[in-house]
Amino acid sequence: MPINQPSGQIKLTNVSLVRLKKAKKRFEIACYQNKVQDFRKGVEKDLDEVLQIHQVFTNVSKGLVAPKDDLQKCFGTTELDPIIEEIMKKGEIQLSEKERQLMINKINNELLTIVSAKCINPKSKKRYPPTMIHKALNELKFSPVLNKSTKIQALDAIKLLVSKQIIPIVRAKMRVKISLNVAEIETIDKIKILINDNSPQNNGEINWIFNGLIDPVTYRDLVNLCDGKGTIQVLDMAVIDDSN
Amino acid sequence: MSRVDSSQFSRLQSDPSCIRNICIVAHVDHGKTSLSDSLLASNGIISQRLAGKIRYLDSRPDEQLRGITMESSAISLYFRILRKQEGSADSLVNEHLINLIDSPGHIDFSSEVSAASKLCDGAVVLVDVVEGVCSQTVTVLRQCWIEKLKPILVLNKIDRLFTELQLTAQEAHIHLSKVIEQANSVIGSFFAGQRQLDDYSWREQLEQNASAEYVEKDDSDIYFDPSQNNVVFASAIDGWGFNISQLAKFYEQKLGAKRENLQKVLWGDFFMDPKTKKIINKKGLKNRSLKPLFVSLIMENIWKIYESVTISKNSESVEKIIKALNIDVPARDLRTKDEKQLLRRIMGQWLPVSTAVLLTVIEKLPSPKQSQKERLDTIIAGAPGAESIDTELMDSMRSCDNDGPVSAYISKMISIPREELPLPLSENHLHADLIERSRKARNLASKAAKHAETLERLNKIRSTNNQDVNKEQEETDLYQRAKETVATPELEVLEVKNHNQQMLSHTLNEAYLDSDFNNAETDHDEGLVPQFTPSLDPNDPLASMFEYEEEDPFEQTPIVTEEELADDLFDESDEVLVGFARVYSGMLRKGQEITVLGPKYDPKMPTDNVQTATITDLYMFMGRELVPLEVCPPGNIVGIRGLAGKILKNGTLIEKGVHGVNLAGIPFQTTPIVRVAVESTNPVEMSRLSRGLKLLNQADPCVETYVEDSGEHILCTAGELHLERCLKDLRERFAGIEITSSEPAIPYRETFLDTPDMNPPKHSELGRGSCELVLGPYKISIQTIPLPDSITQFLITHESEIRSFSSVKNAVDTKDVRLSFMRKFEKICSNSELTGRMNLCVSDIASLGPKRSGPNIISSQNNLLGSLSTCSSPTWEYSDSLLNGFQLAVSEGPLSKEPVQGMFVLVQSIKEMTEQELDEIENPQHQKNVLDISGRLITSFRDCVHESFLDWSPRMMWAMYSCDIQTSVEVLGKVYAVVQQRRGKIVSEEMKEGTPFFQIEAHVPVIEAFGFSEDIRKRTSGSAQPQLVFAGFECIDMDPFWVPTTEEELEELGDTADKENIARKHMNAVRRRKGLFINEKVIQNAEKQRTLKKN
C-alpha cells in the first residue's frame, strides 16, 4: 500500500510547460508564465527567473524526472544547463494570455504602420493615419493572426481594403527609373506590358529609359526582367503628396 | 422681435451721426451678457422681468448650459432721448441707433473680442467690483488702446458689495474708488509705454534733425472719472445703474443746487457741512468725520432700499421710499414674497440700467462719423501699401459718406443654420427643395408662355410693379385655378414640360403650393412679430421672396455656374455663411457686385488676391435673428451673404473699379496653439469630416486646419475650451458625425554623435563607424561619420532647392540651380573645420537622403556611385541598389524607424573577391552565388548602414516648439516652473521697456506641449500667454541604450535606469506605436504573478 506523505513534495502553480521531442523521447521543463517568450527574445537573461525548478522532466505534471541515460542519449550530455537552454530555445511553448496579447498588439501595430505607409487616399494623395486604417479594418472584420508574418498579413489587408473601398484607398504607386539597352527588345516589350506604357521607341539613343510610376505589385517582376540586362532604380517607395 | 419697427431702424441707419457701434467687453463672468439683456429689455425684445436671467444673446445651447459666452453676437437697439432746448418749451427728440456687440470674456475666445473690436467705435468695459480688474480686463483695455476705441467703464455687481461683502455705504465708496483707480493705472501703464515709444522716436529724430520737438501728450481725458461721466455704477442683475450726471439731475430739484455744480461734487472728497449746508472739500473738513456726498446722497439711499426690501422687509419704509422716489409700483408687486423682484421693480424704475448705459454711450462714445475721422489713420497705418489708396475713397471713409465708393471690413464669417435665416427658403429642406423646384418649373413655364398666348395673364401679373397687388391677384387667381386641377404635380414636371397646356396648370398648381408656403411663412413670422404687416413693411420676407423671383437665376447662367463651382462646398450644406461686416463708406446694396480683397491684398499689386462677389442678402443682426435689409448705409454693422468661398476669415469689400485699401491686413493677436488630430468614428464618413473642417476653418477666425504628412487631420485651436466648442460645432453642425480627437503623432529624428564614453568600436582596426558587407562575390566596406551641425543645418534649410534639381526628371532644366547650390555647399564644407576628418569632397557626393534631398550624405570615391554635382553616371553596376539601400536606411533609422539626420556615409571600397578570398570566409552560411543580388543588396546595405550607425552613440531627436511668453513680474516664477516641468528650457528673458512685462523665450518639446498653454494660463491666472512655433529638432542628450555601469550609478539608478533615460522612453513609445521590438519584459518578477485563472 503506497503511502503519500507530504514531506518533500513540491507543488507548482502558474506553470508554463516547454516541451521538446528529441530522439522519440519527450522532455519537459516547468517555467513561469509570461517569461518564456522574453527569454527567447533575449530580454530576460536570468534563467532562474524563467524556470520554476532546475530540472528536466519527462512529464512535469506527474513529477517524472528525465533519466540521466535518456539525457545522455538525446543531448549527448547530462549537464542540465545546456539541455534546458536547448529545450527553451527549440521546444514548443504555450503562450500565456499576456504574451499573446502583446504579440497580437505588436503585429497589429506593425501591420497598421505598413498599410499606412503603402496606401494613400486617391483624392487627397495623402496617407491615412494608422488609426483610420485600424477602424476600417475593424469594420471589415479583419483581425491579425499570430502564425503568419506581418508583412504578408499587411498585404492581405491592403488587398481587402482596396477591394471593399469603404474608405477611398489605393496602393501608393512606386516611382522607378528603368533603363535598358535598346537591343533588348523582347524585355522592353515585356516591361511595357507590365508598366502600361505605350510610348513609341525613342530612336537614336542607346538606352531605353522609363521614368515613372508603377504598381508596386509589378516591381518584383520588373526586377527579374531587368536583372543583368539593365537597371531599375527605385526613386520613391510610395509616392505621397507631402505638401501641406 | 423688437417693439421698435424695423423701418425705424433703416431710417436711423442712414444717419451716421446718430449711430453708435459699441462692444461690451470684460473679464469672464463680469456680467456682459446680463448687461446686454437689460439693454435689450429696454427695447422690448425681452421682458423686463427676465432681463439678466435669460441671457438672450447666448444663443448656443452650450453657451446657456455653461453660462459663458462663446461667440460674439450683435444686436441693434433703438434709444431716444429728450433734450430740453433752451428758449423753447418743446424738448428736442434725439433718436439713436445702437449697434451692440456682446463679446465673450474667456481667454480662449480673445479672437472673437479682437474681431468685434475692429468693428466698433467704442467699448463698454465692465468690471465686477468685487473681483476688481482681472487679467482679461487688462487684455481688453489693451485691445481698446491699440484699436483706439474709446472706453467707458461700467462698475457692475455693486449689489454684491452690500449683499455679499456687507460693506457699509462708506466702505463701498472707498472700494469703488479703488476699482476705478485700478482701471486707471492699467490705462496709465499703456500711456506710459506709448510715451516711452514716443520719446525714443523723438530722440531718434533728434539725432537726424535737431529741430524736432517733443510733443507732450495730454493724458487727462483718457482716464475714467465719474465726474467726467464716463463711469456707470450698476448692478445688471438687479436692473439698476446710474452715472453721476443722472443723479445730479435728480438732486437738482431736491437740493436746489445747480446741476453743473452738483456734477462736480457728487464724486470725490466733497462733503456737506451740516450747519452751513454748504459743500466743502477735504480742507474744510477740519477733522470732522463727515461722509462724502457720494455716500450720503447716493450710496446710503441705495443701501437703504436694499436693507428695507431684502433684509428688514419693512413694507412701510418701502412704501415711503417709493413715494419719495416718485415711482409707480403696482400693489401686486408690493405684496409679493419675492423681495428680489420688488427690489428690481423699485430700482429699475428709479435708475434703469439701460438708460444709464445708453446715455453714457451716446454722450461719451463717438459716432461713426466722428470716429472714422479720428481712427482712420490708425486703421490705415496698419494696412500695407497705404500710399497707393484712392484718395476719393479715403475721403469718403473719413467722412462716412453715403454716396462715396463702398468700402467695408469683414471681421469674421459666421455660420448660421439655414433654418434660422429669414429666407422664404427656410422652413426645412423639403420645403426649400419644393420651392426651388417650383421656381424652376415657373421658369420653364414663363418660357413656354412666350409661345403660348394663353399665359398672357400671368405675364401681366409678373410685370406688375406693385408686389402686393401682384400677390393678391395671383392668389385669387390661383385659388380659382386650383379647383380645376388635382394637385401633386411637382414630380411630373420634367416629363410634361413640353406640353404647354398641361404645363400651365401644373405651374399654377405649384405656384399655389408655393404661395401656400409663403403664407405659412408669414404666419410663422407674424407669430413672433405681430407688428409686421406684409403690406407695409419693406423688409418683409415675402417682399424679398418676390424680388427673388424676379431675379430669374437662369438668365445669368454662365455667372451662376461659375459661382456654383466656387460655392459647391457650401451650397450643399445646411449652413449659411454670413459675413460680419462694418460698412465704412458708401451704400451697400443687395444684389450689388462688389470686389472682395483678400487679407493678403496689397494696393501696390492691385490684381492679386482680388475676387468679385455678388451680395445676395443683407441682414441686420438682432441677436439670434437676422432681419433682412435692402441697403446698408455707412457706419453700420451688417451681415452679408454671398461671400462664401470668397472670404476665408476676414477681408475687405470695395466698390468695383476702385483702388482699395486692405483693411484686413492687420494680423490678429492670437494664434492657435492647441493641436489635436481629429478623426471620424466611422471611417466611411471621413470625407464629411474634411468638408466640415473646411467649413469650420472658414467660420471661425481663430481655427487652423491642415492635413499632416501622416494623413492625420489636424485642428489647431486657441485653447482647450475653444477646442471643445469646435468639436461640438463639428459634431453637430459642420460635419454632423461622431468624431474622436487625440494627440497628434509627433515626429522624431534619429542621429548619432561622437562622445567620449562610447563602447569600443566593433572594428577597431578600421576605425569607428566602419562596417563591411559581404554579399555574394562583393565586399563593400563603408564608414559612417557624424556630419557637423553647420552642414546638417545648411542641408535642411536648402531642402526645397535640392529637391528641385535632384528629381531626375528635370535634371537638365535645373542646371543653374544645381550649380549655384553646389557652389554654396562647397563654401560651407570648406569652412567647417570638421570636414577634414572625413575628407568631404563635394564632387564625391553620390546622393543625399532621405528622398534624395535630406540632411544625410552618401559619397564614394572614383565615381563608383556617380556624383550629384556633375551628374555623371556611376561606374559600378549595382550602384542603384546601394543608393536605394541608403535611402531606406536614412528614411527609417535603426532606433525607431524615424528619419535620420546628420549622417555621412562614405563608401570606401567595393571589390569583387577572388576565389581564394571567398574560400577564406569563415561564415558557413555565406553563399557564393546569390540570386537577385540587386534586391538583396538594398536590404543588406541598409542593415549595414544601421550597424555602423549604432557603433556611435545614437541619439533620438525630438521636435521642439519655440515659445514666446509675455508675462508680468509676479508670475514669472510660475512660468519658469511650468516650462521646467515640461522639460523646456528658457532661452532668453527680457524686460520690455516701458511696461511691467517680461518677454520670455523658451524651447519646449512638442510632445510635452500638450496641455502646456492651458497649464501655464491656469498657474498664472491667465496673465501669461504663450505662443508656440515649431522650431525644428533637438537632440535628447542621452543614449537610448545607455545603462548604468559603474557601481555608483548602479546603486543610484538600478540596473536599467528606466526612469532616468528619457531617450529610451521616447524610443520605446515610438517602437510600441509601430509594433517594433521593445526590450522590455512582459512581467518583471515571475514569482510575483498572482495565481489566478487569468494572468
Which amino acid is residue B625, in one-letter code?
A: E
Sort out which chain A residues have CB atoms less than 8 A from B679's CB and list them. Answer: 129, 131-132, 135
> Which residues, in sequence order, are CB contacts of B323 under 8 Å at separation 6+?
none
| Residue B785 belongs to a domain | yes
| Neighboring chain B residues of A166 at a CB cutoff of 8 Å | 683-684
Gap from B1076 CA to chain A (nearest CA, Å):
7
Q: State whether B852 and A235 contact (CB < 8 Å).
A: yes
B810 touches chain A (CB under 8 A): no
Instruction: For residue B1080, give the nearest of A43, A121, A224 by CB distance.
Output: A43
Comparison of pLDDT for B787 and B598, the residue scoring more: B787
A97-170 maps to which CATH number?
1.10.10.900
Residues B575 and B664 in one domain: yes
Residue type present at position B209: N
Residue A98: closest CA among chain B residues belongs to which residue?
A: B1095
Contacts A–B by Cβ distance under 8 A: 130
Last residue of some domain: B637, B670, B703?
B670
CB nearest B707 (choices: A107, A126, A232)? A126
Q: Are residues B172 and B310 in the same domain?
A: no
Instruction: Enter the C-alpha cell of residue A25.
Output: 523521447
Whether pLDDT at A111 is above 90: yes
Whether B1075 and A240 lie within 8 Å, measured CB to CB: no
Neighbours of B41 (CB within 10 A): 23
C-alpha dist (Å) from residue B888 to B2, B357, B749, B895, B941 = 70, 70, 14, 14, 9
Confidence of residue A28 (pLDDT cuts 50, 70, 90): very high
By CA distance, what is A38's nearest residue in B?
A: B1081
The residue in chain B having the minimum alpha-carbon distance to the alpha carbon of residue A238 is: B851
B1070 to chain A, closest Cα gap in Å: 11
Residues of A in contact with B1076 (CB under 8 A): 106, 110
Bridge partners for B600 per DSSP: none
- Which of B681, B682, B686 to mutate to test binding with chain A, by most A CBs within 10 Å of its CB? B686
Interface contact B690, partner A, CB < 8 A: yes
Identify the band that residue B573 occupies on the pLDDT scale cut at 50, 70 and 90. Answer: low
pLDDT on residue B393: 76
Q: Is residue B307 part of a domain?
A: yes
Does B596 lie in the same domain as B449? yes
- Residues B139 and B5 occupy one common structural domain: yes
What are the chain A neighbours of B682 within 8 Å (beta carbons)?
Answer: 135, 139
The answer to whether the beta carbons of residues B233 and B241 sit under 8 Å apart is yes
Smallest Cβ–Cβ distance between A223 and the set B712, B934, B1085 belongs to B934
The reply to whether B321 and B279 lie within a common domain is yes
Cα separation, B898 vs B890, in Å, equals 8
Interchain contact, B707 vs A98, CB within 8 Å: no
Domain count, chain B: 6
CB contact under 8 A, A233 and B883: yes
User: CA B705 from chain center: how many Å?
Assistant: 12
- Are A168 and B687 within 8 A, CB to CB? yes
For residue B474, is pLDDT > 50? Answer: no
**pLDDT for B444 beyond 80:** no
The pLDDT, as a whole number, for residue B1090 is 66
Query: What number does CATH give the domain A172-239?
Result: 3.30.70.240
Listed residue (B524, B318, B500, B275) closest to B420, CA to CA = B524
- Contacts with B752 (C-beta within 8 Å, 6 or more apart), sequence order: B784, B786, B902, B903, B949, B950, B952, B953, B954, B955
Residues B577, B660, single domain; the answer is: yes
Residue B604's pLDDT band (cuts 50, 70, 90)? low
Give me the helices (H) in B659-712, please: 686-699
| Per-range mean pLDDT, top range of A71-80, B5-14, B261-270, B280-289 | A71-80
Q: Of the candidates A35, A124, A127, which has its C-beta nearest B710's C-beta?
A: A127
Q: Is B811 in the A-facing interface, judged by CB distances under 8 Å? A: no
Q: Does B1093 touch chain A (CB under 8 A)?
A: no
Q: Cα(B806)–Cα(B757) distance, rounded to whole angstroms?
A: 38
Q: Domain map of chain A by residue range?
A: 4-94, 97-170, 172-239
How do residues B636-679 score in pLDDT, each as one tens digit? 888 888 877 677 667 788 877 666 666 665 554 556 777 888 88
The x, y and z cell numbers of residue B6, run together, are 424695423
3-class DSSP assignment, residue B71: coil
**Out of B880, B1077, B1086, closest to residue A49 by CB:** B1086
> Residue B870's beta-bridge partner residues?
none
What is the per-residue pLDDT for B429?
45
Q: Is B709 on the interface with A (CB under 8 A)?
A: yes
Instruction: Verify that B824 and B871 share a domain, yes or no.
Output: yes
Residues of chain A contacting residue B853, judged by C-beta atoms under 8 Å apart? none
Cβ separation A127–B1080 shorter than 8 A? no
Contact A129 B1081 (CB under 8 A): no
CB < 8 Å from A in window 347-366 of B? none
DSSP state of B855: S
Question: Is B977 at the interface with chain A, CB within 8 A?
Answer: no
pLDDT of residue B859: 85
Cell for B579? 459675413
Q: In the listed set B951, B968, B996, which residue is the last one of a domain according to the structure?
A: B951
Q: What is the ipTM of this complex?
A: 0.82
Portion of chain B with pLDDT greater than 90, in percent:
1
pLDDT digits (tens, 9 = 90+) for B331-360: 777 777 777 778 888 888 888 888 888 888
pLDDT at res. B216:
67
Range of the domain at B147: 1-177+228-239+354-367
Specify whether B828 is located in the same domain as B899: yes
Name the packing angle between helices B815-831 and B799-806 (round to 10°). 130
- Between CA B637 and CA B646 the distance in angstroms is 20
Contacts of B699 (CB under 8 A, 6+ apart): B412, B413, B414, B415, B575, B577, B729, B734
B684 and A CB contact within 8 Å: yes
Q: What type of residue is B506?
A: H
The nearest alpha carbon in chain B to A40 belongs to B1081
CA distance B932 to chain A (A): 7
Calculate how close chain A gets to B675, using CA atoms only, in Å: 16
B1088 touches chain A (CB under 8 A): no
pLDDT tens digits along B1052-1065: 777 666 667 888 88
Judged by a CB distance cut-off of 8 A, whether residue B710 touches chain A is yes
* B81 and B110 co-located in one domain: yes
Q: How confident is the model at residue B555 (pLDDT cuts 50, 70, 90)?
A: very low
Output the domain CATH number for residue B791: 3.30.230.10
Which CATH code of 3.30.930.10, 3.30.1250.10, 3.30.420.40, 2.60.40.3140 fits the domain covering A4-94?
A: 3.30.1250.10
State whether B664 and B678 are in the same domain. Answer: no
Residues with Cβ within 8 Å of B326's Cβ and at least 6 positions away in sequence, in order, are: none
Minimal C-alpha gap between B688 and chain A (Å):
12
The CATH number covering residue B608 comes to 2.40.30.10
Question: Cα distance from A182 to chain B (closest Cα, Å)?
Answer: 18
B1076 reaches A (C-beta below 8 A):
yes
- Omega prior to B850 cis, within 30 of 0: yes
Query: Among A44-53, B483-492, B499-508, B878-887, whose mean pLDDT is lowest?
Result: B483-492
B144 contacts B274 by C-beta, under 8 angstroms:
no
Residues B319 and B275 in one domain: yes
Distances from the Cα of A121 to the Cαs of A124, A136, A142, A164, B475, in angstroms? 6, 13, 20, 14, 54
Per-residue pLDDT of B387-428, as tens digits, reads 666 677 777 777 777 777 888 888 777 777 777 666 543 334
Q: Please indicate whether the domains covering A97-170 and A172-239 agree at the CATH topology level.
A: no
Alpha-carbon distance A143 to nearest alpha carbon in chain B (angstroms): 15
CB B321 within 8 A of CB B329: no
Q: Between residues 848 and 877 of chain B, which touch chain A (CB distance below 8 Å)?
A: 851-852, 877
Q: Do B709 and A211 touch (CB under 8 A)?
A: no
